[in-house]
Structure 1
Protein backbone atom coordinates (compact mmCIF):
# COMPACT_ATOMS: atom_id res chain seq x y z
CA UNK A 1 0.00 0.00 0.00
CA UNK A 2 1.38 3.39 -1.02
CA UNK A 3 1.63 5.92 1.83
CA UNK A 4 3.06 9.40 2.41
CA UNK A 5 6.12 7.75 3.92
CA UNK A 6 6.67 5.96 0.59
CA UNK A 7 6.90 9.25 -1.30
CA UNK A 8 10.65 9.25 -0.73
CA UNK A 9 10.92 6.82 -3.65
CA UNK A 10 9.47 9.07 -6.41
CA UNK A 11 11.12 12.10 -4.73
CA UNK A 12 14.54 10.45 -5.00
CA UNK A 13 14.07 9.31 -8.60
CA UNK A 14 12.92 12.83 -9.58
CA UNK A 15 15.96 14.34 -7.85
CA UNK A 16 18.29 11.93 -9.64
CA UNK A 17 16.84 12.87 -13.04
CA UNK A 18 17.14 16.58 -12.28
CA UNK A 19 20.69 16.15 -11.02
CA UNK A 20 21.77 14.48 -14.27
CA UNK A 21 20.40 17.48 -16.19
CA UNK A 22 22.04 19.93 -13.79
CA UNK A 23 25.40 18.20 -14.14
CA UNK A 24 25.14 18.52 -17.92
CA UNK A 25 24.53 22.26 -17.61
CA UNK A 26 27.39 22.69 -15.15
CA UNK A 27 29.79 20.82 -17.44
CA UNK A 28 29.03 23.27 -20.23
CA UNK A 29 30.02 26.16 -17.95
CA UNK A 30 33.19 24.62 -16.51
CA UNK A 31 35.31 25.87 -19.42
CA UNK A 32 34.68 29.62 -19.00
CA UNK A 33 34.21 29.57 -15.21
CA UNK A 34 36.49 26.83 -13.93
CA UNK A 35 35.38 23.98 -11.70
CA UNK A 36 34.65 26.03 -8.58
CA UNK A 37 32.93 28.79 -10.54
CA UNK A 38 30.65 26.26 -12.22
CA UNK A 39 30.04 24.61 -8.85
CA UNK A 40 29.02 27.92 -7.26
CA UNK A 41 26.30 28.35 -9.88
CA UNK A 42 24.18 25.63 -8.26
CA UNK A 43 24.29 27.62 -5.01
CA UNK A 44 24.28 31.26 -6.14
CA UNK A 45 21.59 30.91 -8.81
CA UNK A 46 19.76 28.15 -6.98
CA UNK A 47 19.18 30.27 -3.86
CA UNK A 48 16.55 32.62 -5.40
CA UNK A 49 14.58 29.62 -6.67
CA UNK A 50 14.74 28.03 -3.20
CA UNK A 51 13.20 31.24 -1.82
CA UNK A 52 10.42 31.01 -4.41
CA UNK A 53 9.81 27.36 -3.55
CA UNK A 54 9.62 28.25 0.15
CA UNK A 55 7.18 31.11 -0.43
CA UNK A 56 4.92 28.81 -2.44
CA UNK A 57 5.08 26.10 0.21
CA UNK A 58 4.15 28.55 2.99
CA UNK A 59 1.19 29.84 0.97
CA UNK A 60 -0.08 26.33 0.19
CA UNK A 61 0.48 24.75 3.61
CA UNK A 62 -0.24 27.75 5.81
CA UNK A 63 2.65 26.69 8.05
CA UNK A 64 4.37 29.29 10.24
CA UNK A 65 7.95 30.31 9.44
CA UNK A 66 10.09 28.70 12.15
CA UNK A 67 13.01 30.40 13.86
CA UNK A 68 16.27 28.47 13.33
CA UNK A 69 17.53 27.00 16.59
CA UNK A 70 21.17 26.53 17.58
CA UNK A 71 20.88 22.77 17.06
CA UNK A 72 19.37 23.35 13.60
CA UNK A 73 22.39 25.48 12.68
CA UNK A 74 24.79 22.78 13.85
CA UNK A 75 23.15 20.15 11.63
CA UNK A 76 22.84 22.61 8.75
CA UNK A 77 26.49 23.65 8.87
CA UNK A 78 27.52 19.99 8.99
CA UNK A 79 25.48 19.34 5.84
CA UNK A 80 26.45 22.49 3.94
CA UNK A 81 30.16 22.57 4.70
CA UNK A 82 30.90 18.86 4.30
CA UNK A 83 29.27 18.98 0.87
CA UNK A 84 31.72 21.69 -0.20
CA UNK A 85 34.70 19.87 1.35
CA UNK A 86 33.58 16.63 -0.28
CA UNK A 87 33.52 18.33 -3.67
CA UNK A 88 37.07 19.60 -3.17
CA UNK A 89 38.34 16.18 -2.10
CA UNK A 90 36.58 14.59 -5.08
CA UNK A 91 38.35 16.95 -7.47
CA UNK A 92 41.71 16.21 -5.84
CA UNK A 93 41.08 12.47 -6.09
CA UNK A 94 40.23 12.80 -9.78
CA UNK A 95 43.53 14.61 -10.33
CA UNK A 96 45.47 11.75 -8.75
CA UNK A 97 43.55 8.79 -10.15
CA UNK A 98 41.31 7.81 -13.02
CA UNK A 99 37.79 9.19 -13.15
CA UNK A 100 36.13 5.78 -13.03
CA UNK A 101 38.15 4.60 -10.04
CA UNK A 102 37.30 7.81 -8.17
CA UNK A 103 33.61 7.29 -8.93
CA UNK A 104 33.90 3.78 -7.50
CA UNK A 105 35.24 5.21 -4.24
CA UNK A 106 32.56 7.90 -4.14
CA UNK A 107 29.77 5.35 -4.44
CA UNK A 108 30.69 3.97 -1.03
CA UNK A 109 28.72 7.02 0.18
CA UNK A 110 25.55 4.98 0.70
CA UNK A 111 27.29 2.52 3.03
CA UNK A 112 28.93 5.34 4.97
CA UNK A 113 25.62 7.21 5.17
CA UNK A 114 24.07 4.12 6.76
CA UNK A 115 26.81 4.10 9.40
CA UNK A 116 26.70 7.85 10.10
CA UNK A 117 22.90 7.89 10.10
CA UNK A 118 22.82 5.14 12.71
CA UNK A 119 25.50 6.78 14.87
CA UNK A 120 24.30 10.39 14.76
CA UNK A 121 20.55 10.12 14.16
CA UNK A 122 19.71 6.63 15.32
CA UNK A 123 18.30 5.82 11.86
CA UNK A 124 17.21 2.20 11.96
CA UNK A 125 18.00 0.00 9.01
CA UNK A 126 16.83 -3.59 8.80
CA UNK A 127 19.25 -6.32 7.85
CA UNK A 128 17.59 -6.62 4.42
CA UNK A 129 18.07 -2.88 3.79
CA UNK A 130 21.74 -3.14 4.72
CA UNK A 131 22.11 -6.09 2.34
CA UNK A 132 20.35 -4.06 -0.39
CA UNK A 133 22.72 -1.12 0.14
CA UNK A 134 25.80 -3.36 -0.09
CA UNK A 135 24.53 -5.15 -3.23
CA UNK A 136 23.66 -1.90 -5.06
CA UNK A 137 26.98 -0.29 -4.08
CA UNK A 138 28.92 -3.33 -5.29
CA UNK A 139 27.03 -3.12 -8.58
CA UNK A 140 28.05 0.50 -9.09
CA UNK A 141 31.70 -0.24 -8.29
CA UNK A 142 31.73 -3.13 -10.77
CA UNK A 143 30.06 -0.98 -13.43
CA UNK A 144 32.44 1.94 -12.87
CA UNK A 145 35.69 0.01 -13.07
CA UNK A 146 37.41 -0.49 -16.40
CA UNK A 147 40.01 -3.10 -17.43
CA UNK A 148 43.27 -2.06 -15.82
CA UNK A 149 41.51 0.49 -13.62
CA UNK A 150 41.84 -1.68 -10.54
CA UNK A 151 45.50 -0.68 -10.35
CA UNK A 152 44.26 2.62 -8.93
CA UNK A 153 43.19 0.83 -5.76
CA UNK A 154 46.84 0.25 -4.91
CA UNK A 155 47.51 4.00 -4.65
CA UNK A 156 47.07 5.17 -1.07
CA UNK A 157 46.56 8.89 -1.75
CA UNK A 158 43.69 8.72 -4.28
CA UNK A 159 42.11 5.91 -2.27
CA UNK A 160 42.17 8.02 0.88
CA UNK A 161 40.91 11.13 -0.92
CA UNK A 162 38.10 9.23 -2.63
CA UNK A 163 36.91 7.54 0.56
CA UNK A 164 37.13 10.81 2.51
CA UNK A 165 35.11 12.56 -0.20
CA UNK A 166 32.45 9.84 0.06
CA UNK A 167 32.48 10.25 3.85
CA UNK A 168 31.93 14.00 3.48
CA UNK A 169 29.00 13.49 1.10
CA UNK A 170 27.53 10.91 3.49
CA UNK A 171 27.92 13.33 6.42
CA UNK A 172 26.33 16.04 4.30
CA UNK A 173 23.25 13.91 3.66
CA UNK A 174 23.02 13.03 7.36
CA UNK A 175 23.56 16.66 8.38
CA UNK A 176 20.80 17.95 6.13
CA UNK A 177 18.45 15.20 7.31
CA UNK A 178 19.30 16.08 10.91
CA UNK A 179 18.41 19.72 10.27
CA UNK A 180 15.15 18.85 8.49
CA UNK A 181 13.75 16.52 11.14
CA UNK A 182 14.22 18.99 14.03
CA UNK A 183 12.35 21.88 12.42
CA UNK A 184 9.38 22.18 14.81
CA UNK A 185 5.66 22.55 14.18
CA UNK A 186 5.57 22.35 10.38
CA UNK A 187 4.92 19.80 7.64
CA UNK A 188 7.78 17.76 6.22
CA UNK A 189 7.51 19.77 2.98
CA UNK A 190 8.01 23.06 4.81
CA UNK A 191 10.85 21.64 6.91
CA UNK A 192 12.66 20.36 3.81
CA UNK A 193 12.27 23.61 1.86
CA UNK A 194 13.20 25.73 4.90
CA UNK A 195 16.42 23.74 5.30
CA UNK A 196 17.17 24.06 1.60
CA UNK A 197 16.95 27.87 1.77
CA UNK A 198 19.40 28.13 4.66
CA UNK A 199 21.69 25.46 3.21
CA UNK A 200 22.04 27.28 -0.12
CA UNK A 201 22.51 30.59 1.71
CA UNK A 202 25.47 29.22 3.67
CA UNK A 203 27.02 27.49 0.65
CA UNK A 204 26.62 30.58 -1.54
CA UNK A 205 28.28 32.79 1.07
CA UNK A 206 31.19 30.40 1.68
CA UNK A 207 31.98 29.58 -1.94
CA UNK A 208 31.50 33.16 -3.21
CA UNK A 209 33.88 34.44 -0.53
CA UNK A 210 36.38 31.77 -1.54
CA UNK A 211 36.18 32.81 -5.19
CA UNK A 212 36.67 36.50 -4.35
CA UNK A 213 39.80 35.56 -2.42
CA UNK A 214 41.30 32.95 -4.74
CA UNK A 215 39.89 33.83 -8.19
CA UNK A 216 38.49 37.37 -8.04
CA UNK A 217 37.75 37.47 -11.76
CA UNK A 218 35.37 34.49 -11.63
CA UNK A 219 32.39 36.15 -9.86
CA UNK A 220 32.21 38.72 -12.66
CA UNK A 221 32.31 35.97 -15.28
CA UNK A 222 29.50 34.17 -13.48
CA UNK A 223 27.28 37.24 -13.62
CA UNK A 224 28.12 37.75 -17.31
CA UNK A 225 26.83 34.22 -18.00
CA UNK A 226 23.65 34.72 -16.00
CA UNK A 227 21.30 33.28 -18.62
CA UNK A 228 22.67 29.71 -18.77
CA UNK A 229 23.61 29.97 -15.11
CA UNK A 230 20.01 30.73 -14.18
CA UNK A 231 18.78 27.52 -15.77
CA UNK A 232 21.55 25.48 -14.12
CA UNK A 233 20.68 27.12 -10.80
CA UNK A 234 17.01 26.25 -11.23
CA UNK A 235 17.85 22.61 -11.99
CA UNK A 236 20.16 22.50 -8.97
CA UNK A 237 17.52 23.94 -6.62
CA UNK A 238 14.86 21.67 -8.12
CA UNK A 239 17.02 18.57 -7.60
CA UNK A 240 17.95 19.63 -4.06
CA UNK A 241 14.29 20.29 -3.22
CA UNK A 242 13.45 16.68 -3.98
CA UNK A 243 16.56 15.32 -2.26
CA UNK A 244 15.52 17.18 0.89
CA UNK A 245 11.91 16.02 0.63
CA UNK A 246 13.22 12.46 0.51
CA UNK A 247 15.56 13.08 3.47
CA UNK A 248 12.54 14.31 5.45
CA UNK A 249 10.82 10.94 5.06
CA UNK A 250 13.52 8.28 5.35
CA UNK A 251 17.11 7.57 6.32
CA UNK A 252 19.82 9.22 4.25
CA UNK A 253 21.23 5.79 3.41
CA UNK A 254 17.98 4.76 1.73
CA UNK A 255 17.94 7.93 -0.37
CA UNK A 256 21.57 7.72 -1.39
CA UNK A 257 21.22 4.05 -2.32
CA UNK A 258 18.18 4.60 -4.51
CA UNK A 259 20.07 7.54 -6.03
CA UNK A 260 22.38 4.98 -7.62
CA UNK A 261 19.75 4.72 -10.37
CA UNK A 262 21.71 7.63 -11.87
CA UNK A 263 24.14 4.99 -13.10
CA UNK A 264 21.31 3.26 -14.93
CA UNK A 265 20.26 6.56 -16.52
CA UNK A 266 23.83 7.21 -17.68
CA UNK A 267 24.18 3.71 -19.11
CA UNK A 268 20.87 4.07 -20.94
CA UNK A 269 21.97 7.38 -22.48
CA UNK A 270 25.29 5.84 -23.56
CA UNK A 271 23.56 2.85 -25.12
CA UNK A 272 20.67 4.57 -26.90
CA UNK A 273 22.25 7.92 -27.78
CA UNK A 274 25.84 6.94 -28.49
CA UNK A 275 25.29 3.29 -29.46
CA UNK A 276 27.89 2.17 -26.92
CA UNK A 277 27.34 -1.55 -26.23
CA UNK A 278 27.37 -2.92 -22.69
CA UNK A 279 30.23 -5.19 -21.69
CA UNK A 280 29.53 -8.34 -19.69
CA UNK A 281 31.05 -6.64 -16.63
CA UNK A 282 28.80 -3.59 -16.99
CA UNK A 283 25.74 -5.78 -17.49
CA UNK A 284 26.60 -7.74 -14.35
CA UNK A 285 27.02 -4.53 -12.37
CA UNK A 286 23.69 -3.20 -13.59
CA UNK A 287 21.97 -6.43 -12.58
CA UNK A 288 23.37 -6.01 -9.06
CA UNK A 289 22.19 -2.38 -8.93
CA UNK A 290 18.70 -3.38 -10.01
CA UNK A 291 18.61 -6.20 -7.44
CA UNK A 292 19.86 -3.94 -4.65
CA UNK A 293 17.53 -1.05 -5.46
CA UNK A 294 14.58 -3.40 -5.96
CA UNK A 295 15.23 -5.02 -2.58
CA UNK A 296 15.59 -1.63 -0.92
CA UNK A 297 12.24 -0.27 -2.07
CA UNK A 298 10.40 -3.52 -1.39
CA UNK A 299 11.31 -4.02 2.27
Structure 2
Protein backbone atom coordinates (compact mmCIF):
# COMPACT_ATOMS: atom_id res chain seq x y z
CA UNK A 1 0.00 0.00 0.00
CA UNK A 2 1.30 3.44 -0.91
CA UNK A 3 2.12 5.56 2.12
CA UNK A 4 -0.22 8.43 1.22
CA UNK A 5 -3.28 6.17 1.53
CA UNK A 6 -3.14 5.34 5.28
CA UNK A 7 -1.95 8.87 6.00
CA UNK A 8 -5.01 10.30 4.23
CA UNK A 9 -7.43 7.95 6.00
CA UNK A 10 -5.97 8.87 9.38
CA UNK A 11 -6.17 12.58 8.52
CA UNK A 12 -9.82 12.17 7.48
CA UNK A 13 -10.69 10.57 10.80
CA UNK A 14 -8.90 13.28 12.78
CA UNK A 15 -10.55 16.00 10.71
CA UNK A 16 -13.93 14.55 11.60
CA UNK A 17 -13.04 14.68 15.29
CA UNK A 18 -11.89 18.29 14.90
CA UNK A 19 -15.11 19.24 13.09
CA UNK A 20 -17.16 17.70 15.88
CA UNK A 21 -15.25 19.74 18.45
CA UNK A 22 -15.67 22.88 16.37
CA UNK A 23 -19.40 22.33 16.14
CA UNK A 24 -19.51 22.00 19.92
CA UNK A 25 -17.55 25.24 20.28
CA UNK A 26 -19.66 27.15 17.77
CA UNK A 27 -22.51 27.31 20.26
CA UNK A 28 -20.20 29.07 22.69
CA UNK A 29 -18.00 31.15 20.41
CA UNK A 30 -19.84 31.85 17.17
CA UNK A 31 -18.56 31.20 13.67
CA UNK A 32 -15.47 33.42 13.76
CA UNK A 33 -14.28 32.18 17.14
CA UNK A 34 -14.80 28.53 16.23
CA UNK A 35 -12.83 29.13 13.03
CA UNK A 36 -9.97 30.90 14.83
CA UNK A 37 -9.31 28.19 17.41
CA UNK A 38 -8.37 25.74 14.63
CA UNK A 39 -5.39 27.94 13.76
CA UNK A 40 -4.71 29.91 16.92
CA UNK A 41 -4.43 26.81 19.07
CA UNK A 42 -2.83 24.79 16.30
CA UNK A 43 0.30 26.75 15.48
CA UNK A 44 2.16 25.88 18.74
CA UNK A 45 1.71 22.18 17.95
CA UNK A 46 2.74 22.72 14.32
CA UNK A 47 5.86 24.57 15.46
CA UNK A 48 6.63 21.81 17.94
CA UNK A 49 6.31 19.23 15.16
CA UNK A 50 8.91 21.07 13.06
CA UNK A 51 11.20 21.35 16.08
CA UNK A 52 10.95 17.62 16.83
CA UNK A 53 11.77 16.72 13.23
CA UNK A 54 14.72 19.12 13.13
CA UNK A 55 16.20 19.01 16.63
CA UNK A 56 15.07 15.56 17.69
CA UNK A 57 15.30 13.53 14.48
CA UNK A 58 17.90 15.49 12.55
CA UNK A 59 15.83 16.54 9.52
CA UNK A 60 17.42 19.65 7.95
CA UNK A 61 15.30 22.78 7.69
CA UNK A 62 14.41 23.73 4.11
CA UNK A 63 15.17 27.17 2.71
CA UNK A 64 12.05 29.24 2.16
CA UNK A 65 11.60 31.13 -1.10
CA UNK A 66 9.13 33.57 -2.66
CA UNK A 67 7.03 30.96 -4.55
CA UNK A 68 6.75 28.99 -1.30
CA UNK A 69 5.65 32.03 0.69
CA UNK A 70 3.14 33.25 -1.89
CA UNK A 71 1.56 29.81 -2.34
CA UNK A 72 1.47 29.23 1.41
CA UNK A 73 -0.21 32.58 2.14
CA UNK A 74 -2.73 32.13 -0.68
CA UNK A 75 -3.61 28.68 0.62
CA UNK A 76 -3.83 29.96 4.17
CA UNK A 77 -6.31 32.70 3.29
CA UNK A 78 -8.41 30.33 1.19
CA UNK A 79 -8.55 27.85 4.07
CA UNK A 80 -9.64 30.53 6.54
CA UNK A 81 -12.60 31.51 4.39
CA UNK A 82 -13.40 27.87 3.60
CA UNK A 83 -13.40 26.94 7.30
CA UNK A 84 -15.56 29.95 8.15
CA UNK A 85 -18.14 28.89 5.56
CA UNK A 86 -18.07 25.25 6.70
CA UNK A 87 -18.59 26.16 10.35
CA UNK A 88 -21.39 28.54 9.33
CA UNK A 89 -22.97 25.72 7.31
CA UNK A 90 -23.61 23.75 10.51
CA UNK A 91 -26.39 26.25 11.24
CA UNK A 92 -28.44 25.05 8.25
CA UNK A 93 -28.42 21.25 8.28
CA UNK A 94 -27.49 18.46 10.68
CA UNK A 95 -23.84 17.55 11.18
CA UNK A 96 -23.65 14.77 8.57
CA UNK A 97 -25.56 16.47 5.78
CA UNK A 98 -24.04 19.89 6.44
CA UNK A 99 -20.55 18.50 6.01
CA UNK A 100 -21.61 16.64 2.85
CA UNK A 101 -22.23 19.87 0.96
CA UNK A 102 -18.51 20.61 1.03
CA UNK A 103 -17.60 17.22 -0.43
CA UNK A 104 -17.56 18.40 -4.04
CA UNK A 105 -14.02 19.52 -3.22
CA UNK A 106 -12.28 16.69 -5.19
CA UNK A 107 -13.79 17.93 -8.47
CA UNK A 108 -12.68 21.45 -7.79
CA UNK A 109 -9.30 20.31 -6.48
CA UNK A 110 -8.75 18.40 -9.73
CA UNK A 111 -9.51 21.56 -11.71
CA UNK A 112 -7.22 23.70 -9.57
CA UNK A 113 -4.50 21.05 -9.80
CA UNK A 114 -4.74 21.06 -13.58
CA UNK A 115 -4.78 24.85 -13.88
CA UNK A 116 -2.18 25.71 -11.24
CA UNK A 117 0.12 22.68 -11.28
CA UNK A 118 -0.57 21.05 -14.64
CA UNK A 119 -1.56 17.78 -12.94
CA UNK A 120 -4.07 15.68 -14.86
CA UNK A 121 -6.07 12.72 -13.55
CA UNK A 122 -6.93 9.43 -15.25
CA UNK A 123 -10.31 8.62 -16.79
CA UNK A 124 -11.05 6.13 -14.00
CA UNK A 125 -10.29 8.81 -11.42
CA UNK A 126 -12.70 11.19 -13.18
CA UNK A 127 -15.38 8.48 -13.04
CA UNK A 128 -14.66 7.85 -9.35
CA UNK A 129 -14.90 11.55 -8.57
CA UNK A 130 -18.18 11.75 -10.50
CA UNK A 131 -19.70 8.86 -8.54
CA UNK A 132 -18.61 10.52 -5.33
CA UNK A 133 -20.30 13.77 -6.32
CA UNK A 134 -23.52 11.87 -7.10
CA UNK A 135 -23.32 10.40 -3.61
CA UNK A 136 -22.99 13.90 -2.17
CA UNK A 137 -26.02 15.09 -4.12
CA UNK A 138 -28.08 12.12 -2.90
CA UNK A 139 -27.14 12.98 0.67
CA UNK A 140 -27.97 16.65 0.16
CA UNK A 141 -31.47 15.71 -1.01
CA UNK A 142 -32.05 12.99 1.57
CA UNK A 143 -34.30 15.10 3.79
CA UNK A 144 -36.54 16.36 0.99
CA UNK A 145 -39.21 14.78 -1.27
CA UNK A 146 -37.87 13.72 -4.67
CA UNK A 147 -39.39 16.34 -6.95
CA UNK A 148 -37.90 18.75 -9.48
CA UNK A 149 -38.53 21.64 -7.13
CA UNK A 150 -36.82 19.80 -4.28
CA UNK A 151 -33.87 18.86 -6.50
CA UNK A 152 -33.49 22.44 -7.73
CA UNK A 153 -33.71 23.84 -4.21
CA UNK A 154 -31.15 21.32 -2.98
CA UNK A 155 -28.68 22.21 -5.70
CA UNK A 156 -29.06 25.99 -5.69
CA UNK A 157 -30.33 26.69 -2.17
CA UNK A 158 -28.32 28.76 0.28
CA UNK A 159 -26.76 25.79 2.15
CA UNK A 160 -25.69 24.17 -1.13
CA UNK A 161 -24.12 27.38 -2.41
CA UNK A 162 -22.27 27.90 0.86
CA UNK A 163 -21.04 24.31 0.75
CA UNK A 164 -19.92 24.62 -2.87
CA UNK A 165 -18.07 27.84 -2.11
CA UNK A 166 -16.41 26.19 0.87
CA UNK A 167 -15.40 23.24 -1.31
CA UNK A 168 -13.91 25.54 -3.95
CA UNK A 169 -11.84 27.36 -1.36
CA UNK A 170 -10.70 24.10 0.25
CA UNK A 171 -9.72 22.80 -3.19
CA UNK A 172 -7.77 25.95 -3.93
CA UNK A 173 -6.04 25.90 -0.55
CA UNK A 174 -5.03 22.24 -0.91
CA UNK A 175 -3.54 22.91 -4.33
CA UNK A 176 -1.66 25.94 -3.01
CA UNK A 177 -0.28 23.89 -0.13
CA UNK A 178 1.04 21.23 -2.50
CA UNK A 179 2.59 23.97 -4.63
CA UNK A 180 4.22 25.51 -1.55
CA UNK A 181 5.60 22.19 -0.33
CA UNK A 182 6.97 21.25 -3.73
CA UNK A 183 8.56 24.71 -4.07
CA UNK A 184 10.85 23.87 -1.14
CA UNK A 185 12.57 21.15 -3.18
CA UNK A 186 14.58 18.26 -1.77
CA UNK A 187 13.63 14.65 -0.99
CA UNK A 188 12.56 15.07 2.66
CA UNK A 189 8.79 14.95 2.29
CA UNK A 190 8.16 14.92 6.04
CA UNK A 191 10.04 18.14 6.70
CA UNK A 192 8.67 19.87 3.59
CA UNK A 193 5.13 19.12 4.73
CA UNK A 194 5.82 20.07 8.35
CA UNK A 195 7.63 23.30 7.43
CA UNK A 196 4.76 24.31 5.14
CA UNK A 197 2.22 23.52 7.86
CA UNK A 198 4.16 25.55 10.43
CA UNK A 199 4.45 28.56 8.15
CA UNK A 200 0.78 28.47 7.15
CA UNK A 201 -0.63 28.10 10.67
CA UNK A 202 1.49 30.99 12.01
CA UNK A 203 0.36 33.17 9.10
CA UNK A 204 -3.30 32.20 9.60
CA UNK A 205 -3.14 32.88 13.32
CA UNK A 206 -1.65 36.34 12.76
CA UNK A 207 -4.24 37.26 10.11
CA UNK A 208 -7.23 36.11 12.15
CA UNK A 209 -5.97 37.57 15.44
CA UNK A 210 -5.49 41.01 13.83
CA UNK A 211 -8.92 40.86 12.21
CA UNK A 212 -10.68 39.73 15.39
CA UNK A 213 -8.91 42.28 17.55
CA UNK A 214 -10.22 45.06 15.31
CA UNK A 215 -13.65 43.74 14.27
CA UNK A 216 -14.69 41.08 16.80
CA UNK A 217 -12.70 41.51 20.02
CA UNK A 218 -15.37 39.70 22.02
CA UNK A 219 -14.80 36.58 19.90
CA UNK A 220 -11.06 36.74 20.51
CA UNK A 221 -11.66 37.01 24.25
CA UNK A 222 -14.14 34.13 24.15
CA UNK A 223 -11.62 31.99 22.25
CA UNK A 224 -9.12 32.50 25.03
CA UNK A 225 -11.73 31.89 27.74
CA UNK A 226 -12.67 28.48 26.31
CA UNK A 227 -9.10 27.27 25.98
CA UNK A 228 -9.79 23.90 27.64
CA UNK A 229 -11.78 22.70 24.63
CA UNK A 230 -10.07 24.91 22.06
CA UNK A 231 -6.67 23.43 22.76
CA UNK A 232 -7.99 20.02 21.71
CA UNK A 233 -9.32 21.51 18.49
CA UNK A 234 -5.85 22.88 17.86
CA UNK A 235 -4.08 19.62 18.65
CA UNK A 236 -6.41 17.37 16.65
CA UNK A 237 -6.65 19.90 13.84
CA UNK A 238 -2.92 20.31 13.38
CA UNK A 239 -2.41 16.54 13.54
CA UNK A 240 -4.98 16.12 10.76
CA UNK A 241 -3.34 18.94 8.80
CA UNK A 242 0.05 17.29 9.16
CA UNK A 243 -1.48 14.23 7.54
CA UNK A 244 -3.04 16.25 4.72
CA UNK A 245 0.16 18.19 4.02
CA UNK A 246 2.24 15.02 4.01
CA UNK A 247 -0.17 13.13 1.75
CA UNK A 248 -0.43 16.05 -0.66
CA UNK A 249 3.34 16.31 -0.80
CA UNK A 250 3.46 12.66 -1.86
CA UNK A 251 0.44 12.52 -4.19
CA UNK A 252 -1.75 14.68 -6.46
CA UNK A 253 -4.26 16.80 -4.62
CA UNK A 254 -7.27 15.38 -6.51
CA UNK A 255 -6.47 11.81 -5.45
CA UNK A 256 -5.85 12.76 -1.83
CA UNK A 257 -9.03 14.78 -1.57
CA UNK A 258 -11.05 12.03 -3.27
CA UNK A 259 -9.86 9.44 -0.77
CA UNK A 260 -10.64 11.96 1.95
CA UNK A 261 -14.33 11.42 1.14
CA UNK A 262 -14.08 8.51 3.56
CA UNK A 263 -14.55 11.19 6.19
CA UNK A 264 -18.29 10.95 5.48
CA UNK A 265 -18.30 7.45 6.95
CA UNK A 266 -16.80 8.89 10.12
CA UNK A 267 -19.25 11.82 9.93
CA UNK A 268 -22.26 9.53 9.93
CA UNK A 269 -20.83 7.61 12.87
CA UNK A 270 -20.36 10.90 14.76
CA UNK A 271 -23.90 11.99 13.89
CA UNK A 272 -25.39 8.81 15.34
CA UNK A 273 -23.09 8.11 18.26
CA UNK A 274 -22.21 11.63 19.45
CA UNK A 275 -24.93 14.02 18.30
CA UNK A 276 -27.73 11.41 18.35
CA UNK A 277 -28.94 12.54 14.92
CA UNK A 278 -31.00 10.14 12.86
CA UNK A 279 -29.93 9.26 9.31
CA UNK A 280 -32.23 7.84 6.66
CA UNK A 281 -31.91 5.37 3.80
CA UNK A 282 -31.07 7.99 1.18
CA UNK A 283 -28.17 9.24 3.25
CA UNK A 284 -26.91 5.68 3.59
CA UNK A 285 -27.18 5.18 -0.20
CA UNK A 286 -25.20 8.36 -0.74
CA UNK A 287 -22.57 7.16 1.68
CA UNK A 288 -22.34 3.81 -0.13
CA UNK A 289 -21.84 5.62 -3.45
CA UNK A 290 -19.03 7.64 -1.96
CA UNK A 291 -17.36 4.55 -0.52
CA UNK A 292 -17.73 2.85 -3.90
CA UNK A 293 -16.09 5.82 -5.62
CA UNK A 294 -13.16 5.57 -3.21
CA UNK A 295 -12.73 1.86 -3.94
CA UNK A 296 -12.80 2.56 -7.68
CA UNK A 297 -10.20 5.28 -7.29
CA UNK A 298 -7.81 3.00 -5.41
CA UNK A 299 -8.33 -0.05 -7.64
CA UNK A 300 -8.44 1.53 -11.10
CA UNK A 301 -6.17 4.52 -10.57
Q: TM-score, normalising length from structure 1?
A: 0.88
The residue aligned with 2:176 is 175
Superposition deviation, residue 166 in structure 1:
1.8
1:223 aligns to 2:220 (yes or no): no
Report whether the alignment pairs 1:66 with 2:62. Answer: yes
Counterpart position of 1:108 = 104
Tell me the distance in 1 between the aligned counterparts of 2:280 and 2:29: 36
1:118 to 114, 117, 128: 114
Shift of 1:225: 2.2
- Check 1:232–1:101 CA distance in 2 against 1; reply closer, same or farther (3 A cut): closer
Name stretches of at least 5 consecutive residues in structure 1 with no aligned partner: none
Flag the 1:126–1:73 CA change in 2: closer, same or farther, 3 A: same
CA shift in 2, pair 1:29/1:101, >3 Å = closer
Q: Does the residue aligned with 2:217 lie in a helix, a strand or coil? A: coil
| Counterpart pick for 1:134 among 130, 136, 153 | 130
Deviation at 1:56, TM superposition (A): 1.2
Q: Hey, what does 1:244 align to over in structure 2?
A: 245
Would you say the 8 A contact 1:116–1:170 is kept in 2?
A: yes
Does the C-alpha gap of structure 1 residues 138 and 244 become closer, same or farther in structure 2, counting only changes over 3 Å?
Answer: same
Aligned to 1:14: 10
- The CA distance in 2 between the partners of 1:92 and 1:38, in whole Å, is 10
Aligned residue number for residue 188 of structure 2: 187
CA contact (8 A) 2:35 2:80 kept: no
Per-residue Cα deviation, 1:134-182 (whole angstroms, up to 9, x for no partner): 1122212212322245352464766554433221111011001111112
Q: 1:274 to 1:226 in 2, by over 3 A?
A: closer
Asked if 1:57 corresponds to 2:57, the answer is no
Q: 1:143 to 1:37 in 2, by over 3 A?
A: same
Q: Cα–Cα, structure 1 residues 160 and 38, in superposed 2: closer, same or farther, change >3 Å?
A: closer
Equivalent-residue separation in structure 2 for 1:177 and 1:154 (angstroms): 30
Shift in Å, 1:188: 0.3
Check 1:193–1:151 CA distance in 2 against 1; reply closer, same or farther (3 A cut). Answer: same
Distance 1:185 1:291, change over 3 A: same
Match of 2:82 in 1: 86
Aligned to 2:293: 292
* Residue segments in structure 2 that go unaligned for 5+ positions in a row: none
Query: Which range is displaced more, 286-295 or 273-282?
Result: 273-282
The separation in 1 between residues aligned to 2:157 and 2:279, in whole angstroms, is: 30
CA pair 93-29 structure 1, distance change in 2 beyond 3 A:
closer
Deviation at 1:278, TM superposition (A): 5.5
Q: Using the alignment, how far apart are the partners of 2:205 and 2:21 within structure 1?
A: 18
Q: How far off its partner does 1:270 sit?
A: 4.3
Alignment root-mean-square deviation, CA: 2.5
- Return the TM-score normalized by structure 2: 0.88
Q: CA deviation at 1:198?
A: 0.6
2:170 is equivalent to residue 204 of structure 1: no
1:74-114 deviation line (CA, Å, top 9, x unaligned): 1111210111122344466677x656776554221110101
